[in-house]
């Protein structure tokens, strides 16, 4: 319910078409669908410009399927199912055919393709599932990210070989576990927005991603921002915000 709709409602009040009690009630009610076990938000895309995502863990396959179908039943933007197991994916695709599956992520109704160059860098091969989630989510928003895997700082020349990918990007996602040092190095060679994603990959003193998380937050390269551990989805959403997906209505 945007400002125009609010004015219309108040106009209806003035003209008497809408009863006072009813108006009070509607002023508090924005569109969503109540499935009993979930309240599906048809309003979020309008409000935030972000895709509607269904987080898999803790939901039954039928619940996943029902929420996805409900979201697709109304007009709107991309719908994403994340961290889904095979049974959840199967159920969702049966209810809503046509989703594109990448790893544990499924995307329906992706946004129109955009040309902004986005780079997604993963430090090690163990960070690939997080990069998969990030790239799939970016694709839902219409971004065809350029991806560099296995470019950790222990062999900086591997990054330097494709350094154009970094310097040309309008936004860079850096995904790393262990010491998370890749974020600082990328932040030092690029002036673009850098969104850092710590991963739970690693051993020794990686502490399930806490070390990389802290290291990225304390990066000596100014202006890096950070999302939660293994949160490739969140990083992609941050990029979508940065590149103006949500700002379109503003002009």
Distance CA 120, CA 12 (A): 50
Residue 34: C-alpha distances to residues 40, 45, 70, 209 (Å): 6, 17, 10, 36
Q: Which residues contact 52 (CB under 8 A, 6 or more apart)?
A: 40, 41, 44, 45, 71, 76, 77, 78, 79, 80
According to the binding rule CB under 8 A, does residue 168 interact with a second copy?
yes
Q: Is 243 left (phi over 0), alpha (psi -120 to 50) or beta?
A: alpha
CA distance 124 to 105: 20
Q: Are 76 and 45 in contact (CB under 8 A)?
A: yes
- Number of Cβ atoms within 10 Å of the Cβ of 230: 21
The CB-side HSE value for 5 (13 A sphere, CA atoms) comes to: 10
Nearest distance, CB of residue 90 and a second copy, angstroms: 19
- Residue of the chain from 91, 119, 152, 174 that contacts a second copy (CB under 8 A): 152
Please report whether residue 151 would count as binding a second copy according to CB under 8 A: yes
Region of 68-76, 96-104, 106-114, 143-151 interacting with a second copy (CB under 8 A):
143-151
Tell me the window of 69-77, 87-95, 104-112, 178-186 that interacts with a second copy (CB under 8 A).
Answer: 178-186
202 binds a second copy (CB under 8 A): yes
Q: Is residue 157 involved in binding a second copy (CB under 8 A)?
A: yes
* Contact call for residue 132 and a second copy (CB under 8 A): no
* x/- track of binding to a second copy for residues 83-112 (CB under 8 A): x-----------------------------
Q: Does 114 bind a second copy (CB under 8 A)?
A: no
Count of residues that interact with a second copy, criterion CB under 8 A: 116
Among 99, 110, 142, 234, binds a second copy (CB under 8 A): 234
Bridge partners, residue 114, by sequence: 143
Provide, rounded to whole angstroms, the least separation between the CB of residue 105 and a second copy: 14
Please identify, using beta-carbon distances, which residue of 97 and 249 lies nearer to a second copy. 249
Applying the rule CB under 8 A, the residues between 45 and 74 that interact with a second copy are 47-50, 53, 55, 57-59, 63
Within 207-226, which residues bind a second copy (CB under 8 A)?
207, 210-226
Distance CA(82)–CA(78), nearest Å, equals 13
């Amino acid at each position: 319910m945007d400002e125009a709709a609010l004015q219309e409602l108040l106009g209806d009040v003035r003209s008497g078409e809408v009863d006072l009690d009813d108006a009070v009630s509607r002023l508090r009610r924005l569109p969503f669908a109540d499935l009993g076990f979930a309240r599906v938000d048809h309003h979020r895309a309008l409000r935030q410009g972000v895709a509607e995502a269904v987080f898999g863990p803790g939901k039954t396959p039928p619940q996943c399927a029902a929420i996805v179908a409900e979201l697709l039943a109304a007009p709107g933007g991309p719908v994403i199912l994340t961290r889904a197991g095979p049974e959840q994916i199967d159920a969702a695709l049966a209810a809503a055919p046509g989703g594109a599956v990448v790893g544990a992520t499924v995307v329906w109704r992706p946004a129109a393709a955009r040309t902004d160059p986005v780079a997604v860098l993963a430090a090690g091969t163990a960070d690939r599932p997080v990069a998969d989630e990030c790239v799939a989510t970016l694709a839902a928003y219409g971004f065809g990210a350029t991806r560099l895997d296995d470019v950790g700082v222990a062999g900086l020349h591997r990054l330097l070989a494709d350094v154009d990918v970094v310097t040309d990007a309008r936004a860079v996602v850096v995904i790393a576990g262990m010491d998370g040092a890749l974020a600082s190095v990328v932040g030092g060679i690029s002036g673009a927005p850098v969104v850092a994603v710590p991963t739970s990959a690693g051993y020794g003193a990686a502490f399930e991603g806490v070390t990389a998380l802290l290291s990225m937050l304390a990066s000596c390269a100014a202006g890096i921002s950070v999302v939660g551990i293994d949160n490739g989805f969140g990083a992609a959403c941050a990029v979508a915000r940065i590149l103006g997906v949500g700002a379109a209505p503003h002009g």
